[in-house]
Structure 1
Amino acid sequence: MEFKKIITTFMVAAISVASSITASASDFPQTFEHRYGTTVVEKKPLRVVSLSYSGHDNLLAFGVKPVAVRYWYGDHPYSVWPWAQEALGDHQPVILKGELNIEQIASLAPDLIIGVTSGVTQEQYELLSAIAPTVMSEAKYTDYSTPWQLRATTAGRAVGESEKAAELVGSIEKQIADIVKTHPDWQGKTASVSFFYNGTPGGYRSIDTRPQLLKRLGFDTPKLLDAAADEGEFYANISPEDLTPLEADVVIWMATGDALAGLKEMPLRKKMQAHIEGREVLADNLLAGAFSFSNTLSLSYALEKLVPLIELAIDGDPLTIVPSTQKSGLLD
């Protein structure tokens, strides 16, 4: 089927149900300036395709059920992790895996495509924007560095749920403020969000959403880690022969399965001061996922689980056991 014919055929379906949805006229049109130009959303969308690897959670939090979502990783129904399953309900979105299939997306007859933190290229954007208004990351951000607050409020504006987005962001901001208030000693400390992937250790640089969250709690990314990759890169691979860039007041390891086994076998990890002084935190699969998704549904869970672990790790006393680290075998 020719590309234009796909668009024409399936857009008729979206138009036919438009009369069943009402929205405040004052919410639209909405204009978005982004890395590839300007997008105008003229009216409240009815069929939203989410290309962000984690952005569909925000839509679900707003009560918007996307017709398609982007698969990132994990083995959860419809690529929706436990913290968002209640919001998903019995909805069954199409799952977009691997390379984007433009004709598949066109066949879904979307009237809005959200591509913030999706890695969509200029060429792909041109094709997608011929199908429906397509909202991308602002030009000042890299592919995956848009702050979680802006991702939420951008999606909220695009679907006519700005108030709900602001409410959810405000709730998490209060949670963060309360943590900061009760942990003044964290200000100026350092934390590395570290990983072991395909046999290589590494860490996330300060432009990544995970260190951004820790920065809000008071923790800086180690300067050596930030300097270990080119500007614009959100992570840096580190030589297993020199783990110095990962040293910090708290080292948060994100490794499960084979990666965890490899991490435990890495000889120089046990020479790190963070290990010697008991300042390692192992984020299990669910915590690591919530931390990585960093959206309005995952962040409360991530903070609730992560903060108590940091509290135990940061005292520098190896006799203070961090349960997740012990359970993982990293203390053996």
Structure 2
Amino acid sequence: MSDVSSELQSRKSKMADVSRRQVLRGLGSGLALPAMAGAGLALPPLAAPALAQAGEIRFEHAFGTTILEKPATRVVSIGYNTQDPLLALGTPPVGIREWFGARPYAVWPWAESYLGDAKPTVISGEVSIEIIASLQPDLIVGVGSGISKAEYDVLSQVAPVLMQPADNPSYGTRWDIQTEMYGRALGNVDKANELIAANKALFAAARERHPEWAGKTGVCAYNFNGETGAFIGSDTRATFMGELGFKLTPKLAETKTTQGFYAPLSPEDLSALDADLLVWISSFDTVPDIVKLPMRKTLKAHKEGREVMAGSLIAGALSFGSVLSLPFALKEMESDITLALDGDPATKVASSVKAGLAP
């Protein structure tokens, strides 16, 4: 099973639990709460938040207020993609929540060089408070983790917990906002600003190189387990398309998101996907399912060769949508996007041809 297929399957398997746990992306948060006495973890009762004093770092977020007395140095990352900006800022987490892909230390290729000699503990499946407490963190990054307020309260007894801004959905905090937040938390604001500026410059340069992209529609689509749809709203893949100047098709722009980040479509009508650029978020072993979609053949994007297949590595980069993964995705995809939009159906995107995305 591909990395992206695993992601989508995990989402589907959790959907029945969404109303209870408010878990977006269907990946589940599942904080394991063992008996504290048996684990030897005598946690103090929750205290009322104090007012920030001089030198303290204060964050207002979805679950309240987090105050750091000084910049954090031992960080546990339980968000599904939060290890990337922490690594970019020079603070390898002591613990990393694994999302998908089974990568060493849960770090993907675009971030490996930032790991150095660090060997973080990989937290798989349910988040065990025993494991987190044993790592003795001075900060737990819970942005994009899907944890509940009750779970946040328990984790806050181990160390300060940083969550997404109150006006952000659980899995919808942009890469630049996250980078800025962690830069403050780590006492590395200048580096955070440098990273953000460099990324914005990369995408601005791409838009300048391709003025023909301006105003065109672009969609990242998926097909898994019989369901086809598009990533929209605050989703990282939709953010990538927006950074390049693409906009949603009119039909998708009017579509209400499911769980805040995607829109399933009727298998009888995929016309909402008929954009100037159609990017399939998949892996090579799921291409046959896409190729066999009957209604795909009715799309102009298909007939005119305006499809791009994002294999497992690029799909992972787009899914992480981080300060490190987005430049990686841009570098890998720019030429494919250019070929897809050159107006000549005879020029097939190389990655699509190799993947077997037949006409």
- Counting aligned pairs with the same residue, the percent is 42
Structure 1 residue identity aligned to 2:295? L
1:113 corresponds in structure 2 to: 140
2:323 corresponds in structure 1 to: 296
Q: Secondary structure at the match of 2:268?
A: coil
Structure 2 residue identity aligned to 1:110? P
Cα distance in structure 2, aligned partners of 1:288 and 1:7: 42
Residue 124 of structure 2: which of 75, 79, 97 is its match? Answer: 97
TM-score, length of structure 2 as denominator length: 0.83
Q: Secondary structure at the match of 1:113?
A: strand
Aligned positions of 1:1-332 closer than 5 A:
3=36, 5-6=40-41, 28-230=55-257, 233-332=260-359
Runs (5+) with no aligned partner, structure 2? 1-33, 45-52
**Paired residues of 2:232 and 2:257 also in contact (CA < 8 A):** no
Cα distance in structure 1, aligned partners of 2:311 and 2:117: 27
**Paired residues of 1:32 and 1:40 also in contact (CA < 8 A):** yes
**Paired residues of 1:200 and 1:238 also in contact (CA < 8 A):** yes
Q: How far off its partner does 1:229 sit?
A: 3.5
Runs (5+) with no aligned partner, structure 1? 10-25
Structure 2 residue identity aligned to 1:42? E
Question: CA 1:27–1:76 in 2, change beyond 3 Å: closer, same or farther?
Answer: farther
Q: How far off its partner does 1:2 sit?
A: 5.0
2:26 corresponds in structure 1 to: none
Q: Secondary structure at the match of 1:179?
A: helix
Question: CA 1:210–1:7 in 2, change beyond 3 Å: closer, same or farther?
Answer: farther
After TM superposition, which residue ranges in structure 1, 4 or more long, deviate above 4 angstroms?
Answer: none
Cα distance in structure 1, aligned partners of 2:291 and 2:305: 15
**Paired residues of 1:228 and 1:237 also in contact (CA < 8 A):** no
Q: How far off its partner does 1:149 sit?
A: 0.3
Q: Secondary structure at the match of 1:201?
A: strand
Q: How far off its partner does 1:216 sit?
A: 2.2
**Paired residues of 1:279 and 1:314 also in contact (CA < 8 A):** yes
Which digits, 9 at most, give the CA deviation of each residue in 1:78-114, with x for residues without a partner? 1111111111123211111122222322222211001
Question: CA 1:292–1:28 in 2, change beyond 3 Å: closer, same or farther?
Answer: farther
Q: How far off its partner does 1:7 sit?
A: 5.6
Give the number of equivalent residue pairs: 316
Cα distance in structure 2, aligned partners of 1:185 and 1:220: 13
Structure 2 residue identity aligned to 1:248? A
**Paired residues of 2:76 and 2:141 also in contact (CA < 8 A):** yes
Structure 2 residue identity aligned to 1:3? M
Question: CA 1:98–1:326 in 2, change beyond 3 Å: closer, same or farther?
Answer: same
Q: CA RMSD in A?
A: 2.0
Q: Secondary structure at the match of 1:240?
A: coil
Cα distance in structure 2, aligned partners of 1:61 and 1:231: 31
Q: Secondary structure at the match of 2:127?
A: coil
Q: Secondary structure at the match of 2:58?
A: strand
Which digits, 9 at most, give the CA deviation of each residue in 1:20-60, with x for residues without a partner? xxxxxx99411101011010011122311001111111111
Structure 1 residue identity aligned to 2:319? S
| Structure 1, 39-48 or 219-228: larger mean CA deviation | 219-228
Question: CA 1:216–1:167 in 2, change beyond 3 Å: closer, same or farther?
Answer: same
